[in-house]
Amino acid sequence: MEIAGYTIESIYLFLLIAGVILTFLYIFVGELIEGMMDISGDGIINPITVIGYITLIGGLGYILETMAFFMGSGLILLVNLVVSAVLIVLVNYFIILPVKRSEKNTSYSINELKGTVGEVFTTIPAEGFGEVVISRTHGTVSKAAKSFDNEDLPEGTKVLVIDIDDEGVFHVSKHYD
The pLDDT value given to residue 105:
53
The pLDDT value given to residue 159:
92
The pLDDT value given to residue 32:
76
Contact 142, 112 (CB under 8 A): no
Residue type, 134: I
Q: From 103, 102, 101, 151, select the one nearest 130 (Cα to Cα).
A: 151
Whole-number Cα distances in Å, 48 to 31, 77, 84, 97: 11, 22, 14, 11
Contact 143, 158 (CB under 8 A): no
Which portions of the chain are predicted below pLDDT 50?
Answer: none
Q: From 19, 50, 54, 42, select the one nearest 97 (Cα to Cα).
A: 42
The pLDDT value given to residue 42:
58
Alpha helices in 92-150 (DSSP H): 97-106
Q: What does the alpha-carbon distance between residue 165 and residue 177 come to, in Å, rounded to a whole number?
A: 25
Name beta bridge partners: 7.
2
Q: What does the alpha-carbon distance between residue 99 and residue 85 come to, in Å, rounded to a whole number?
A: 20
Q: From 32, 34, 39, 52, select the one nearest 92 (Cα to Cα).
A: 52
